[in-house]
């Protein structure tokens, strides 16, 4: 996907911003390194959405997200949940405590979507358990509480591989999203294709039409980042 096409999509995205449905995807990036203002401005000319990972109470990542917004990029956030059965020893892992801490940290960041990251991690205090039922229940509790308190679109970011490891199978925790309690999906599959045609062979959970895909690790403006393709119409349920 060359720069000319990307710039066309940027213009198109601005023109369609007030429409209820979108006919073309948007393109964005997830950074792999801290960026300066001029670097955000360079990427602004090739992309439209900026995805920032927030881990705990990290002022630097919040600063990066705010700088992206100041540079004219629409920002989305990735929230890494803390999963721990022993909430007496680790009270910061309680659902209400961790969500409130996260929202307090990012309250000055203007964002459209918060994605809850479902991926394997090695943090002893917060890593996923071997109890797939507990993993699923805690995931739903975090998502529902975040949705009730954040006043943002809330979704899940994962891959089929991580979903299987955490929930036991690709069909595991299918109750996490349905028509009554819907959550959109942002998934990772680095096949280099800026579309979601591959998802039918990499499905997981109960998600049908992904809203976003991380499809490529690349470099532009001398910056390494992960490229995303975004379909905002799938942030909500419609009768297609």
Is residue 240 assigned to a domain?
Answer: no
**pLDDT computed for residue 184 by the predictor:** 96
Q: Does residue 146 fall inside a structural domain?
A: yes
In a domain, 115, yes or no: yes
Q: What is the pLDDT of residues 85-111, one digit of tens each?
A: 988 888 888 999 999 988 888 888 888
Q: Is 47 exposed, middle or buried (0-12, 13-18, 19+ CB in 10 A)?
A: buried
Nearest to 66 by CA among 50, 80, 81: 50
Total domains in the fold of the chain? 1
Is 17 among the domain residues? Answer: yes
In whole angstroms, give the CA distance from residue 33 to residue 54.
13
Q: Check residue 63 and give its pLDDT.
A: 78
Mean pLDDT of the chain: 80
pLDDT mean over 212-218: 89
Whole-Å CA distances, 214 to 159, 185, 187, 195, 211: 10, 11, 6, 10, 11
Q: Which of 179, 183, 210 is nearest to 25 (CA)?
A: 210
Span 6-33, average pLDDT: 41
Q: What is the tens place of the pLDDT at every residue in 137-192?
A: 999 999 999 999 999 999 999 999 999 999 999 999 999 998 788 999 999 999 99
Global pTM reads 0.82
Q: Answer whether residue 24 shows pLDDT above 60.
A: no
pLDDT, position 3:
27
- pLDDT beyond 50 at 240: no
Beta-carbon count within 10 A of 66 CB: 16
Is the separation of the CB atoms in 77 and 106 below 8 Å?
Answer: yes
CA distances from 75 to 5, 62, 155, 181, 207 (A): 21, 11, 14, 24, 23
Instruction: Specify whether the CB–CB gap between 225 and 202 falls below 8 A.
Output: no
Q: Is residue 38 part of a domain?
A: yes
Q: Is the pLDDT of residue 129 over 90?
A: yes
Q: Which residue range forms the structural domain that includes residue 71? A: 3-235
Angle ∠(83,202,85) on CA atoms, nearest 5: 10
pLDDT at 32: 61
The three-state secondary structure class of 7 is helix
The three-state secondary structure class of 97 is helix
CA atoms within 13 A on the CB side of 98: 25
96 within a domain of the structure (yes/no): yes
Residue 43 banded pLDDT, cuts 50, 70, 90: confident
Would 167 be classed as within a structural domain?
Answer: yes
CATH of the domain at 41: 3.20.20.80
| pLDDT score, position 31 | 63
| 156 domain-assigned | yes
Tens digits of per-residue pLDDT, 65-79?
777 777 777 778 888
Residue 9 has pLDDT above 80, yes or no: no
142's CB contacts (< 8 A; 6+ apart) are: 81, 95, 98, 99, 116
Q: Which residue has the higher pLDDT, 28 or 16?
A: 28
């Amino acid at each position: 996907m060359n720069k000319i096409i990307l710039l066309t999509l940027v213009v198109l995205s601005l023109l369609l911003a007030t429409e209820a449905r979108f006919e073309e995807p948007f393109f964005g990036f997830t950074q792999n390194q801290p960026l300066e203002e001029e670097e955000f401005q360079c990427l602004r000319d090739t992309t439209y959405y900026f995805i920032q990972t927030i881990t705990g109470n990290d002022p630097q990542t919040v600063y990066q997200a705010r700088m992206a917004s100041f540079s004219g990029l629409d920002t989305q956030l990735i929230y890494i949940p803390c999963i721990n059965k022993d909430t007496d020893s680790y009270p910061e892992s309680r659902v209400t405590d961790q969500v409130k801490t996260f929202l307090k940290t990012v309250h000055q960041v203007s964002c459209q979507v918060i994605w809850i990251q479902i991926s394997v991690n090695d943090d002893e205090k917060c890593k996923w358990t071997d109890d797939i039922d507990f993993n699923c229940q805690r995931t739903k509790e975090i998502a529902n509480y975040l949705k009730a308190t954040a006043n943002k679109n809330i979704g899940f970011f994962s891959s089929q591989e991580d979903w299987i490891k955490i929930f036991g199978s690709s069909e595991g925790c299918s109750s996490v999203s349905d028509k009554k309690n819907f959550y959109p999906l942002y998934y990772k599959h680095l096949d280099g294709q800026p579309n979601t045609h591959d998802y039918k062979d990499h499905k997981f959970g109960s998600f049908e039409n992904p809203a976003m895909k991380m499809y490529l690790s690349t470099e532009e403006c001398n910056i390494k980042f992960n490229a995303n393709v975004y379909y905002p119409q799938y942030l909500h349920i419609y009768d297609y």
